[in-house]
Amino acid sequence: MKGKFYALALSILGMASAASAQDLRLTSSKTPTIPGRQCATMDVLQAQLAADPSLAKRMATIEAQTHTFQANPASIASRTTAGVVTIPVVVHVVYKTAAENVSTAQVQAQIDVLNKDFAKLNSDANLVPSAFSGLAANTNIQFVLAQRDPNGNPSNGIVRTLTKTTSWSSNDAVKNAKRGGSNAWPTSSYLNLWVCNLGQGLLGYAQFPGGSASTDGVVVLYSSLPNGSAAPYNKGRTATHEVGHWLNLRHIWGDASCGNDLVSDTPTQQTANYGCPSFPHVTCNNQGDMSMNYMDYTDDACMYMFSTGQSTRMNALFGAGGARASLATSLGGTAPRQMATTKPEVQLFPNPATQTLNVTLPAEKATTWTVKVYDLLGYEMKQARYNGKSQVAVSGLPQGLYQVVISDGQQTIRQRFQKE
Ligand SMILES: [Zn+2]
């Protein structure tokens, strides 16, 4: 899957001294030349599969659920009639230089590109050749910058982190505050999108459904955002491609010679296409590669469609038992209501607690409010269960400080307690 040219370029880069690579960045405000679209998603997957034997099993379970969904026209139809899934996005801007600290307007422009591409509202959709025009799909999936953080506080959906790191790789350090990056928000409620100076000639990489929550999401090179400096990869299509992976799409050539991308309506093709091929580019006895698909390696200006089969595969994640179904009901994209001027009285006791935490709620609403327990990083603690009757079982929690978040969807009350 990797072009020989790229392997050569990498080995040359590897031979260059660290000092000269540093100089290149210090003396130039532009991004070092990208040798050709390169996405590390499959390399990251191989490394994760090697490190975690249980990942293959989780991915196989997701694949089985996807097959069931694909084989059932009723489930596909019910997803369509259920309306658009709008995914709350948190954008982690991890920057060292002013150029890497992309503007809020540029982040919004990236979200806008995602929304157009995933809805087939992109202005270049008319370029799809007639052989494929019947297959170009509106995926029914949309994106919105988060309007509340995991603790229920108002947010603009952008987390800015100043770092000492000059250049990042696909090793997920950018997703880790202890390594100079920014920690993921709960992946059950948000798409995490990291924007940084990704090195190694990479434009981006993503994690497929089934991987670890702490690294779930998408990483893109900061200059690949719309109007960035990474031409011809600066129309925001790197994010479209990587979010495609995050929604379980494989590269269009199936990452093998005439490989299988697990989608039936995309033609089998020999390998990645680069640049801007003219149609038809015939390989593997097909009628022409679908090189204008977002999951190929073509220039941003030369990719402008998802297929119906790809759309179905992505939507399976939001069907019954789907791996990302919880995002469809996330409140992350909805602004929290202003707190009432008089807070209802809430008491937690005993505090510290060992087995059971009692919660006194306003009497008239005790049954309708949700009570959830989070750690101080904002991850929901599934071990702590509210019984709907003013008690939370906490015996399964590790010792430490936690936050109880009590909400009726309009008001949110947060209080800390200690588990002993
Ligand atoms: Zn890719």
Distance 366 CA to ligand 1 centre (A): 48
Q: Which residues have CB under 8 Å from 319's CB, separation 6+?
A: 65, 69, 75, 78, 79, 325
Residue 260 phi, psi (nearest 5): -115, 120
CA distance 79 to 395: 38
Distance 240 CA to ligand 1 centre (A): 10
Distance 348 CA to ligand 1 centre (A): 48
CA distance 133 to 293: 12
Q: For residue 345, what pLDDT is reported?
A: 66
For 12-66, the pLDDT digits (tens) are 333 333 333 332 333 333 445 677 899 999 999 999 999 999 999 999 999 999 9
Strand ranges (DSSP E) for 10-140?
A: 85-95
Q: For residue 50, what pLDDT is reported?
A: 96
Strands 191-196 and 218-221: parallel
Q: What angle do CA 72, 76, 82 make, to 5 degrees?
A: 140
Q: For residue 412, what pLDDT is reported?
A: 74
Strands 141-145 and 385-386: unpaired
Which residues does the annotation mark as catalytic?
A: 242
Q: For residue 185, what pLDDT is reported?
A: 98
Indicate the DSSP class of residue 277. Answer: P
Q: Which of left, alpha, beta for 244 (phi over 0: left; psi -120 to 50: alpha)?
A: alpha
CA distance 18 to 24: 10
Q: For residue 344, what pLDDT is reported?
A: 56
Q: For residue 26, what pLDDT is reported?
A: 30
Helix, strand, coil % in the chain, rounded to nearest 5: 30, 20, 50
- Write the DSSP string, 59-100: HHHHHHHHHHHHT-HHHHHHHHHT--EEEEEEEEEEESSTTT
Please report how many Cα atoms fall inside a 13 Å half-sphere around the Cα of residue 395, on the Cβ side. 4
Q: For residue 36, what pLDDT is reported?
A: 86
Q: For residue 363, what pLDDT is reported?
A: 59
Q: To which residue do tokens 């405000």 refer?
A: 29
CA distance 118 to 85: 11
Q: For residue 28, what pLDDT is reported?
A: 34
What tokens were used for 166? 């000059």
Distance 245 CA to ligand 1 centre (A): 7
Q: For residue 364, what pLDDT is reported?
A: 56
Q: To which residue do tokens 């590109």 refer?
A: 113
Output the CA torsion sign for 94, 98, 99, 103. Answer: positive
Q: For residue 416, what pLDDT is reported?
A: 83
148 within 8 A of 332, measured Cβ to Cβ: yes
Q: For residue 293, what pLDDT is reported?
A: 98
Strands 158-162 and 204-206: unpaired
Distance 265 CA to ligand 1 centre (A): 19
25 within 8 A of 166, measured Cβ to Cβ: yes
Q: How many residues does the chain have?
A: 420
Instruction: Please name the amino acid found at residue 126.
Output: N
Distance 41 CA to ligand 1 centre (A): 5
Q: Which residues of the chain have pLDDT under 50?
A: 1-31, 340
What tokens were used for 100? 């890497």
Q: For residue 15, what pLDDT is reported?
A: 34
